[in-house]
Amino acid sequence: MTGNAAFSQQAATRRRVVPACDHCRVNTALNSPRAVCARCLRPQSTCLCALVQPTAHRTEVLVLQHPQEQRQAKNSVALLRLSLARCDVVVGERFAPAQLQALLHRPGRDTRLLYPDVPAAPAAPAPAVAEPLRLVVIDATWRKSLRMLLEHPALAALPRLSLDAPEPTRYRAIRAARRSDQVSTLEATVQALSRLEGPSFDAAPLLDAFGRFVAGVAARQRPKEGTGQA
């Protein structure tokens, strides 16, 4: 293929890019694949707004997202945030004590941290769960989440909710999980909400949408990873 042909194909590809949702249109002055969707905050070419599944729930969810996760194409939190009505995402690695206290607690709600009881950061004895709850989730790699926990005593002191037997992850296709019990932030949060809220919480449509999200990311990865692999 000549350089010109490559250029023409690239230009044609660019012209075919259409806004994936109304929010993309707002933010698409240059009609560039790099334009960011104002709603899901992802590049227009990978906008996931069409996958959003409004899912009824009672528990407030606060995601503390490590800055590196925000830039990951594979990250599941944007789909979670847009599908849950009560889900806030705060990006950061270090939080001032007063700022963190204000984020963690809401009047009339008990707060739980979705995190296992691990030797490096033992959990305090937790009182029985009493709804309504505020569920705090750390979105980071295992190592970075542990560091965030250890560096923030207010986080480490929260009563914890841990998933005893997480379900198999749909995530495996796109992200190497080092341990069999490591799941995506979306799946872990959904499992926690199912446990807290029981049958009234119907996660099936959201998990199906997440499966389609994973399949889309895997399909985009394949051409890049197909070279040089035995």
Instruction: Please give the residue ranges that form the binding site for Zn ion (CB under 5 A).
Output: 37, 39-40, 47, 49
Nearer to Zn ion, 47 or 149 (CB): 47
Count of residues in the chain: 230
The minimum distance between CB 88 and Zn ion, in angstroms, equals 18
Number of Cβ within 10 Å of residue 205's Cβ equals 12
* Token digits of residue 81: 């945030």
Q: Would you call 80 exposed, middle or buried from its count of C-beta atoms within 10 A (0-12, 13-18, 19+)?
A: buried
Please give the single-letter amino acid code of residue 229.
Q
Of residues 22 and 131, the one with the C-beta less far from Zn ion: 22
Residue showing the smallest CB distance to Zn ion in the complex:
37
Report in angstroms how near the CB of residue 23 gets to Zn ion at its nearest: 6
Nearer to Zn ion, 78 or 137 (CB): 78
Between CA 77 and CA 89 the distance in angstroms is 8
Min dist CB 211 to Zn ion, Å, is 18
Q: Provide the token pair at 175.
A: 């992200």
The nearer residue to Zn ion, 75 or 169, going by C-beta atoms, is: 75
* Minimal distance, residue 186 CB to Zn ion, in Å: 16
